[in-house]
Chain A
């Protein structure tokens, strides 16, 4: 049945209101404080390390994000770990919270479509994450320039901006996951737990599960190709976790000398100068499938939330 009027009317208003809510909520302040502190600690650690090894290192600027000093992980690893937490904390009560506050029926009685409400909530969360990410990135870059006196090259900037955008998609996957759970599950506490369990499994246990599943395909010790096959199977299973995709993207974008995310054969390296940087666009091309996978995951999860939300009864 055709309906009149644009489904996007009011998206901006809902998104800005959501963003404003997030920015002023105590929950967000706590999470952002955690992120800020750890990010600065990680960047500081990297700077410390880089000072010691300036002479040997190429691509110093990008090292700011990837170098770690024990026991702290690198800035990029930190984001990979904490961003899902931020996204889940932004999204876990997006829809069911509205039902619990009994504001949903009033909201739906306003002259906007349901589409606008859900889409606005997603964009609002993404906007907050984007602002936080940009701030962290600028802080780290600023710290690097100030303490190391290290101006980034144009290529460095392009690479790290691409990486920043990929990071936003990565956070988007988790935000979409959290919003889907908030649509399907009626209690915010349960939906938060569900989202966190998925995060826990994909982040910590997937690395163990993937080889286990891959080992179901037998390896013939006399056939080296079967070993490669098994490894590739394991890698494809591992890539179901956004965490894997994201670390592959990070590895390639922030390290110009990296050439592949999978196994590399000698004949493929013929004529290559080992350690020579890859052109920026080549690196982006290599991880393009990973980036589109994350966008696809985000869209699939959002669509799930969308379908469930459209069919949901107004009466809680």
Chain B
């Protein structure tokens, strides 16, 4: 196990009687990309703010790079970058001027700042528009400018809040590639999102948030093993047969559900297509289509939260 850069123990944040976050434990090693996932209002942003020391935790402790964000906020913020949800820049200043301002706040010398700004802008491919006002930037460009700021400041840990929300697929793809590059460069990254399928490709581990708690923390494979009980999903188009009965006769089938469009969805632990076909036909049904696919993680993820909601 490599060195641990971020550790949170029992983080709790209460607003009056309402607990936005209750008892979160998190431990992140150097170079990891952690996805903080969960629906809106699950406590992701509050957790992030507490990790950064921007909000004081009601209970619990945080340790980032061996420092306490509440006692040594300046040192923590020097090494930990934060890209807020829907990041804002000063619209009347150019992209370069915006970065210059934050460079000065981090105490860089002018020459060094200019060099780092130019490099960072080149990395996020904003060099050509660097001297245009930020007001003319698209949302994707603003997010990339936010990433450029983290690159320029040479942060060791970057915390990105909903970096892909509101972006079109191409911009999302570009941004994720950028984040992956940063991670390969040795940066430890935490990013929050409510879309698992968007970020699963780049996350080494994910934490699922639900009502202020972490319901699951581990790799995507572990997640799939735990919540994708039937790892095979078969779409069935058939008339004249009740698949609920049919499914019950096959071993390994974990659920059969009727979809709104009239098709059936069968989840199973292995490929049950031959059994299905045989039984549907022998039950007098007409089989039109059998489609096998692996369970998509986002379905499993949706289901995970649905189950949690039911359980609550």
Known: A101-B91, A106-B87, A110-B102. A2 touches B71 (CB 8 A): yes
Of the listed stretches A5-13, A43-51, A256-264, chain B binds A5-13
A4 touches B82 (CB 8 A): no
Interface window among B48-56, B251-259, B291-299:
B48-56
User: How far apart are the CA atoms of A313 and B15 in the complex, in Å?
Assistant: 11
Known contacts A10-B105, A13-B104, A109-B52, A3 near B73 by CB under 8 Å: yes
Instruction: For A315, give its contact among B49, B70, B82 (CB under 8 Å).
Output: B49
Query: When the two chains form the complex, which single residue of A24, A102, A314 contacts B86, counting CB atoms closer than 8 Å?
Result: A102
Residues of B90-149 whose CB lies within 8 A of A: 90-92, 101-102, 104-107, 146, 149
B166 at the interface (CB under 8 A from A): no
CA distance A120 to B242 in the complex (A): 72
Chain A at the B interface: mostly helix, strand, loop or mixed? loop
Assembled-state Cα–Cα distance A241/B159 (Å): 48
Q: Are A314 and B54 interface neighbours, CB within 8 A?
A: yes
Tell me the complex Cα distance, A3–B70, Å: 7
In the complex, what distance in Å separates the CA atom of A108 from the CA atom of B87?
12
Q: Are A111 and B92 in contact (CB under 8 A)?
A: no
Contact-size category for B: 20 to 34
CB distance from A315 to the nearest CB of B (A): 6
For the complex, what is the distance from the CA of A315 to the CA of B46, rounded to whole Å? Answer: 9
Say whether B71 contacts A1, CB under 8 Å.
yes
Decide yes or no whether B88 CB sits under 8 A from chain A: yes
Residues on B with C-beta less than 8 A from A104 are: 88
A219 CB-CB contact with B under 8 Å: no
A1 touches B70 (CB 8 A): yes
B305 on the interface (CB 8 Å rule)?
no
Is B174 in the interface zone, CB < 8 Å from A? no
Chain B residues engaging chain A, CB cutoff 8 angstroms: 45-46, 49, 52, 54-55, 70-75, 77-78, 81-84, 86-92, 101-102, 104-107, 146, 149
11 chain-A/chain-B pairs, Cβ below 8 angstroms: A4-B71, A5-B74, A21-B92, A102-B84, A103-B88, A106-B87, A109-B84, A111-B73, A111-B77, A315-B45, A315-B49
- Please name the 9 residue pairs, one residue from A and one from B, whose CB atoms are nearest each other, closest first: A102-B88, A5-B74, A109-B82, A105-B84, A103-B88, A111-B78, A111-B77, A110-B105, A101-B88
